[in-house]
A and B are shown apart, each in its own frame.
Chain A
Amino acid sequence: MRSPRIEWHQLWYPGRRTPFTADEMARAGSNAPGPTMVVAVLSNVLMLGALAMQLAPRGQAWQVALSMSLMAVAGGLAARWLWWQPWRRPLMQVSIGIVVLLLVLAFFIRWQVPNRDDRQGLALVVGGGCAMLPLLMWFLVIWRAQQIEGRLRELAEREQAIEMARRLTAAQLEPHFLFNTLASLQHWVQTKDDRAAPLLSALTGYLRATLPMFKRPLLALADELLAVERYLQVMQARMGSRLTWHIHLDPALHTLQLPPGVLLTLVENAVMHGLEPQLAGGELHIRGTRQAQQALIEVSDNGAGPPAELHEGVGLSNIRQRLQLTCGPTAALELGAAPGGGFRAQLLLPFNSATP
């Protein structure tokens, strides 16, 4: 760890060295100053103005009022400008501007007030006000930059957490699924049962499709469906006649991009919680239909249906987060009872049929 050292350049060129990018500003700095802050600043300016009027030499009230108003307006404009670019270059430009303003005011005072003694009192008030301006701007820029940096850090941490969850899902190969399948496989291999070869190829296909799947941020529905089919073939081999499934998918949806593993998780849940616990097993339906601006993907089973309190596990909250992140705020996952009994999960995704 590096020991903190004095950054000398901050003394003569203060503020954040590198500008925020447009993207960073959009993500973390898009907020306008809040109304509380505006009111607080305005009331402070009024109070300072009143104070300056008290200190002003007799007979020069209008000159003081004019100078103060000029400084307040210039300061306000500069602050607003810096709000949207809180780094050192604009701050320096503003500071130079203030110096220019000070010089202008100095000439103004000199021209307006011929008496040297009167001039001194006035110069003290106006100069004092002008000296405070860069300090205020400096505070604003430092504070604002820290606000944006903090928010960016927070966003980065959140994204990291989601990424972690995504990786975890990848590692979340249900051990029960794997070992039960291997147990069946071993028996059928030993007894030279004909079911061994198809089961092995379905399992291989499932692993091949799922293991690299999570490395990609998005996957075409057709690719995801391959993994789903392999999974169902494996379960079919194990559950026999207790499992039947049907897939109806609008071909236009094949290219639909969605976060990997979403459909697979819904199907695995339907089999594991909906159909496996049923004495007679049941049916699974996967339907994909297209509406005007939306794709609807539905996974339903005719099992026991949703429990009284639906407890959403890691898998489902993970799906929601990833949907929001990759498909936008209109993407949704709805869970509930299927019309004919059983459980139904509905994925609503934005879908633009013109640009697949």
Chain B
Amino acid sequence: MTRILIADDEEAPREQLLAALRLAWPSAQVVATAVNGVDAWDAFLEHEPEVCFLDIRMPGLSGIDVARRIGQQAQVVFVTAYDDHALSAFDAGAVDYLLKPVETERLAQTVQRLQARLTPSASAGLPDMQTLLRQLTEQSRRAPPLAVLQAAVGREVRMIRTDEVVYFESDSRYTRVVHGNANAGADALIRTPLKELLAQLDEQLFWQVHRSVIVNHRHIAAAVRVDEGHMHLTLRGRPETLPVSRHFQALFKGQ
């Protein structure tokens, strides 16, 4: 059974797509719905859907940002209310897109295309979606990355420069921030959930390696493959290791 993720920040279009999918693709199962880009990415990591329907304009991360993170790990269909100039990039047929409100007949075509791609033999000749996504990302202006974090430790609010952070780890409703060097290392808790933090960090510096771990790549010493499907990272001058989940193992493939 095909597993589907739907992400849209507005309720009506989300439900409308859900209803249309039930008609056009009864055999598929919507495993998660997300109300913004940050939730969408988190839900993707949690549920590992094969198909994602993403609204382009969403708070946190845009649909395009989420698609770029998903990469080749799932089929992405963009959903938008208005045929932007951005969508012309998809005319090549690399990824499909739908206009809101989604019409069942049009959706049926998309479903056919998706089913063809989901059969193992078809996936070989896929056009390079990453190039398209890079073009789209360049078009959308983004806020500059977060420079400093404020962590309440006892009575003081500690200012932590993000470039001094070694890694972030999700800790139930909080995020643990491990920063500084081995001698003067420290950790602090901040209230921002990891998934929200991700959208605000410098992508060049911070790599998500697990649903609950984002690491500053300058502090990675090595990626160690434990067995088929399991990998962990060792850090410079630190004893602890960090897990790398399957989705992110492609980051460490050697050259």
Contacts and interface: CB of A to CB of B under 8 A. Distances in A.
Interface of A: 175-176, 178-180, 182-188, 190-191, 193, 238-240, 242, 276-279, 304, 307-308
B99 to A, nearest CB: 8
Given A180-B10, A279-B38, A279-B59, A186 B82 contact: no
Given A178-B82, A187-B12, A276-B9, 18 more contacts: A176-B57, A176-B81, A179-B99, A180-B82, A180-B100, A183-B100, A184-B10, A184-B13, A187-B13, A187-B15, A190-B16, A191-B15, A193-B12, A239-B9, A242-B9, A278-B59, A279-B60, A279-B196
A307 B144 CA distance: 8
B143 interface: yes
Contact of A186 (B11, B16, B59): B16
B20 to A, nearest CB: 10
A184 B143 contact: no
A186 B101 contact: yes
Contacts, number: 61
A190 B9 CA distance: 20
Contacts of B12: 183-185, 187-188, 193, 238
B216 interface: no
Interface residues of B, number: 21
A308 B144 contact: yes
Interface in B6-45: 9-13, 15-16, 19, 36, 38
A164 to B, nearest CB: 22
B143 A304 contact: yes
B82 A176 contact: yes
A179 B144 contact: no
A33 B253 CA distance: 79
A240 B99 CA distance: 22
Instruction: Classify the secondary structure of A's interface with B.
Output: helix
A188 B11 CA distance: 10
A183 B196 contact: no
A175 B10 CA distance: 16
A21 B251 CA distance: 76
27 contacts: A175-B82, A176-B81, A179-B81, A179-B82, A180-B10, A180-B82, A182-B81, A182-B101, A183-B12, A184-B10, A184-B11, A184-B13, A185-B12, A186-B101, A187-B13, A187-B15, A187-B16, A188-B12, A238-B10, A238-B12, A276-B9, A277-B59, A277-B60, A278-B59, A279-B59, A279-B196, A304-B143
Contacts of B196: 279
A186 B99 CA distance: 13
B10 A279 contact: no
